[in-house]
């Protein structure tokens, strides 16, 4: 980023996996990290890795003269930390999802508005060049009218730290859908420019959580003892938005299917296939690292023919760009153009509707 950017004092609340990544980038960018967590184990790990000033509680941290706060606690505790930060007059970046429940998410947005602080939510894929380009193709009308998006975020064996808080309904607010599925909802809503959801049919499954033969191939998060597991590990949903536009969502932490994170955006004139599957470092049985990003068209010069064009934007680190965007917003006082709390609330509403639809289906 910009070398002339001012050095800031940033408060980190929640020192797990995401907190660590934020700290790393903040240090790289020359900012000072002030950190708090209530979990002694998380604190100790963090202290060993980063040069941060540690605090005992939120009040102490928020009174320490920091410029902004980044909240990456377990979902259930986002609200307490965010509300206190707003009261202290701080702009806030909250890890996605905005909260563990729709009510809690609404309260966060309400207080951010009332206190007039910037509130951004970490749906970082929106900063990925590939996603930005796909969105630009939709917006420019090059695809004609987009009528359907087929979206899949599927891991084969990627239940996050099976038994950590991610797998507890009370603390996370749900399972695969609110975790990785919320990324999918965010991108789909963005491609469609934030439409109203009119109808949804959905099914949630829990096929892997309690299995003692579960094979840890794609470990994400802390390796913790398997205590809690009362959430879904996969979801299938069909959404109908205003004007009859539709989306099919497949989300899984674990499934016996090809691992992928991709979006097929179908327009009346052209389509885009956008593959943003993260290459696996630990396990890569296929060796397939090529990720498709293509424009599908039909032309009629001489003979009718297909045109499949490869789109090749430069790679970027979206997590880092998201952070830089937040810091720039704090500096200028202007809300960012993406990943606002209002958008994150719209995502939360759709996630909530999908859970509702799945519950209805199961009665």
Partner 1 sequence: MSDGDTGRGGDRIASVGTAFRILEAVRERDSVGVTELAEALDLPKSTVHHYLATLADDGYLAAEDGRYRLGLGLFTLGATARTGERIYHVAKPNVDRLADATGEQARLVVERDGRGITLYQAAGDEVDDPPTYAGDVEDLHCSAAGKAFLAELPENRLDTFLADHALEPRTPNTITDPDELRATLSDVRDRGVAFDDEERDEGVRCVASAVSDRSGELLGAISVSAPVDRMPDDRFRSEIPSQLRNVVGIVEFNTTYSEWSDAL
Chain positions contacting partner 1, by CB under 8 A: 38-42, 57-58, 73-74, 76-77, 79-81, 83-84, 104, 163, 165, 168, 170-171, 210, 225-230
Q: How far is the CB of 39 from partner 1 (least distance, A)?
A: 5
98 contacts: CB under 8 Å, gap ≥ 6: 78, 104, 105, 108, 109, 121, 341, 344, 345, 347, 348
Instruction: Work out how close the CB of 165 gets to partner 1 at its nearest, in angstroms, rounded to a whole number.
Output: 6
Q: How far is the CB of 58 from partner 1 (least distance, A)?
A: 7
Our CB check for partner 1 shows the closer of 210 and 356 to be 210
Q: Is residue 93 within 8 Å of 326, Cβ to Cβ?
A: yes
CA torsion angle for 286, 287, 288, 289 (degrees, to 10)? 150
Q: How far is the CB of 352 from partner 1 (least distance, A)?
A: 18
CB-wise, 104 or 117, nearer to partner 1?
104
Closest to partner 1 by CB, 77 or 192: 77
**C-alpha distances in angstroms, 94 versus 12, 147, 220, 357?**
10, 32, 20, 27
Q: Minimum Å distance from CB 225 to partner 1?
A: 7
CA contacts within 13 A on the Cβ side of 16: 20
Closest distance of CB 249 from partner 1, Å: 26
Do 276 and 128 touch, CB atoms closer than 8 A? yes
Nearer to partner 1, 24 or 39 (CB): 39
- Under DSSP, is residue 283 helix (H, G, I), strand (E, B) or coil? coil
Minimum distance from CB of 101 to partner 1 (Å)? 10
- In terms of CB distance, is 104 or 273 closer to partner 1? 104
**Residue 295 near residue 272 (C-beta atoms within 8 A):** yes
**CB nearer to partner 1: pick between 73 and 277:** 73
DSSP β-ladder status, 305-310 and 53-55? unpaired
Minimum gap (Å) between residue 327 Cβ and partner 1? 25
Distances (CA, A) of 246 to 139, 153, 267: 17, 17, 11
Task: Match 């909530």 to its residue by tokens.
Answer: 352
Identify which of residues 74 and 336 has a Cβ nearer to partner 1 in the complex.
74
Q: What angle do CA 205, 210, 213 make, to 5 degrees?
A: 115
Q: What residues are paired with 12 via a beta bridge?
A: 35, 70
User: Where is 163: in which H helix or E strand?
Assistant: none
Residue 148, beta-bridge partner list: 246, 266
The smaller minimum CB distance to partner 1, of residues 41 and 258, is found at 41
């Amino acid at each position: 980023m910009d070398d002339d950017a001012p050095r800031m004092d940033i408060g980190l609340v929640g020192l797990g996996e995401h907190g660590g990544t934020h700290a790393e980038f903040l240090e790289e960018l020359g900012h000072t990290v002030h950190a708090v967590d209530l979990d002694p184990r998380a604190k100790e790990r963090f202290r060993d890795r980063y040069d941060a000033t540690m605090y005992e509680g939120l009040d102490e941290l928020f009174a320490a003269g920091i410029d902004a706060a980044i909240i990456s606690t377990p979902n259930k505790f986002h609200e307490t930390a965010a509300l206190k930060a707003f009261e202290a007059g701080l702009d806030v970046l909250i890890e996605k999802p905005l909260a563990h429940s729709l009510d809690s998410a609404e309260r966060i947005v309400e207080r951010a508005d009332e206190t007039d602080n910037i509130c951004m939510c970490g749906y970082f894929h929106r900063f990925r060049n590939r996603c930005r380009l796909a969105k630009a193709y939709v917006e420019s009308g090059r695809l004609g009218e987009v009528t359907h998006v087929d979206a899949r975020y599927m891991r084969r064996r990627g239940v996050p730290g099976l038994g950590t808080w991610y797998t507890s309904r009370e603390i996370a607010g749900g399972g695969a859908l609110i975790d990785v599925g919320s990324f999918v909802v965010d991108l789909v809503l963005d491609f469609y420019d934030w439409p109203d959801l009119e109808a949804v049919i959905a099914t949630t499954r829990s096929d892997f959580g309690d299995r003692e033969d579960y094979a840890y191939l794609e470990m994400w998060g802390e390796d913790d003892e398997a205590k809690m597991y009362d959430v879904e590990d996969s979801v299938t949903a069909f959404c109908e938005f205003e004007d009859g536009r539709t989306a099919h969502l497949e989300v899984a932490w674990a499934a016996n299917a090809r691992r992928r994170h991709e979006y097929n955006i179908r327009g009346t004139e052209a389509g885009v296939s956008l593959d943003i599957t993260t290459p696996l470092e630990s396990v890569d049985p296929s060796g397939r690292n090529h990720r498709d990003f293509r424009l599908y068209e039909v032309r009629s010069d001489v003979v009718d023919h297909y045109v499949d064009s490869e789109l090749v934007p430069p790679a970027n680190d979206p997590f880092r760009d998201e952070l830089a965007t937040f810091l720039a917003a704090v500096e200028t006082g202007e809300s960012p153009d993406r990943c606002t709390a209002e958008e994150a609330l719209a995502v939360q509403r759709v996630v909530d509707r999908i859970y509702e639809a799945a519950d209805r289906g199961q009665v």
